[in-house]
Amino acid sequence: MTATKEPPALTSDITSPPIVKRHQRSAFPVIDLWKSSVGKKWIMGVTGVMLMGFVLFHMIGNLKMYLGASHFDEYAHFLRELLVPIIPETGVLWILRAGLLGAFVLHIACAYSLTQMNRKARPIKYQSSRDYVAVNWAARTMRWSGIIVGLFILWHLATITWGWANPDFVAGEPYETITASLHNPIVGVLYIVANLALGFHLFHGTWSLFQTFGSLSPRFNPRHNPLRKGIAAGFAIVVAGANITFPIAAMTGVIG
């Protein structure tokens, strides 16, 4: 009796597909939003709109300086008494400040995180000089102008709002405080430099905002690119340009 040979095991040249590791979703959608680059861009966009709204209305309010001390002090008093007596005096003002501080911190955190993600995703630098100018120059401008604006905000709060770093601070007299400070040429020049940085930041930020929200994006509508650039430039010029007039008017004796 001969032993029967077992048939050879069937082999296949077809290799099994690699196992794709799926992203583990968090129980909190906010965390998934924060982890993704798209989510960070949206957060930057929303917080950017909040900060843009603040600088616009802050500039409009400061135009009261040209109407004189009584009008400017009346405007400052109005801000302090928003929703009084429902909310205590300066309560709404501090709520707005807290919201703006949160938006500012989130804006910076997202910008830093996106920069790190972009560096990891693109270890090789741009090969085209055109790409370098269009992308890197804008990014570097945004980074440094953002730092300058951030330091200026801290200095502005310390000198104009709280007054502990301002020898000309007069409690309860906002017009006297700000005009006396801007009469100082050093303060005036710092104010102008900071607002030039703000103008560059607003220009690039507004331009990027259209991309983030998908409106007038050159990716889909290249013909709208000049319009997008014009809106960004116009907003930056109006806000920064008006702000720059304040120290010039103070140093030349037009106000104060």
DSSP letters spanning 83-137:
TTTTS-TTHHHHHHHHHHHHHHHHHHHHHHHHHHHHHHH--SPPSSHHHIIIIIH
Q: Give the chain's mean pLDDT.
A: 81
Extents of the domains making up the chain: 37-122+130-251
Give the model's pLDDT for residue 236: 95
Is the distance from CB of 256 to CB of 248 less than 8 angstroms?
Answer: no
Burial 86-102 (b: 16+ CB within 10 A, else e): eeeeeebbeeeeeebee
Is the distance from CB of 177 to CB of 245 less than 8 angstroms?
Answer: no
* Topology of the domain comprising 37-122+130-251: 3 helical TM bundles of succinate and fumarate reductases (1.20.1300)
Q: Can you read off the two tokens belonging to residue 107?
A: 């804006």
Give the model's pLDDT for residue 84: 93
Residue 73 to residue 172: CA distance in whole angstroms: 9
Amino acid at residue number 194: A
Is the distance from CB of 122 to CB of 72 less than 8 angstroms?
Answer: no
Give the model's pLDDT for residue 130: 41
Give the model's pLDDT for residue 256: 77
Residue 228 to residue 212: CA distance in whole angstroms: 13
Give the model's pLDDT for residue 123: 57
Is the pTM higher than 0.75?
yes
All residue ranges of the chain with pLDDT < 70 are 1-28, 122-140, 214-222
Residues in the chain: 256
DSSP H helices, the chain, are 29-35, 37-62, 69-80, 91-121, 129-131, 137-156, 174-182, 185-213, 225-251
Give the model's pLDDT for residue 213: 76
Nearest alpha-carbon partner for 36 in 25, 50, 48? 25
